[in-house]
Amino acid sequence: MSYSKKVIDHYENPRNVGSFDGTDSTVGSGMVGAPACGDVMKLQIKVNQRGIIEDARFKTYGCGSAIASSSLVTEWVKGKSLEQAEKIKNIHIAQELELPPVKLHCSILAEDAIKAAIADYKDKNFTH
């Protein structure tokens, strides 16, 4: 498997690895994938009172492009509103990282992780 320089850079120097306290109401957490499929992504966003994502963290179990995809989206969501972050599509991630076709599912998973984290945040803050 030959990866682009961007994938290798994110893999070797992953951005924003870690966890926030999942019970904090300003935090939205998304966990997608399954161990049996070889990929699990956990993405957490911290949202301020103006509805802007001011910080993000990830942990990923998966191949190099899964780690790179999740590392990349933690950079991308920072500073964005929830609406803007929701517009990040797997195709953008795949293009930025020049993912080979067999690795497209990693970018799809990263998009799902953003959506899951936002949904969790909204669930905590808006439905009750």
51/89 with CB nearer another protein = 89
Q: Which of 8, 37, 91, 102 is catalytic?
A: 37
Contact string (CB under 8 A) for another protein, positions 19-58, x = contact: x-----------xxxxxxxxxxxx----------------
100 contributes a contact to another protein by CB under 8 A: no
| Backbone region of residue 40 per phi and psi (left: phi > 0; alpha: psi in -120 to 50; beta: other values) | beta
Based on the residue annotation, tell me whether 63 is a catalytic residue of this protein.
Answer: no
Judge contact between 89 and 72, C-beta under 8 A.
no
Find the shortest distance in angstroms from Cβ 10 to another protein: 11
Judge contact between 43 and 58, C-beta under 8 A.
yes
Judge contact between 48 and 16, C-beta under 8 A.
no
What are the helix (H) ranges across the chain? Answer: 5-12, 64-77, 82-86, 90-97, 104-125
Judge contact between 25 and 68, C-beta under 8 A.
no
17 contributes a contact to another protein by CB under 8 A: yes
Based on the residue annotation, tell me whether 37 is a catalytic residue of this protein.
Answer: yes
Q: How many residues bind another protein (CB under 8 A)?
A: 28
Q: Determine which residue in the list 45, 46, 47, 60 makes contact with another protein, applying CB under 8 A.
A: 60
Query: What is the set of active-site residues?
Result: 37, 106
Q: Residue numbers of the site for another protein (CB under 8 A)?
A: 1, 11, 14, 17, 19, 31-42, 59-64, 66-67, 102, 109, 112
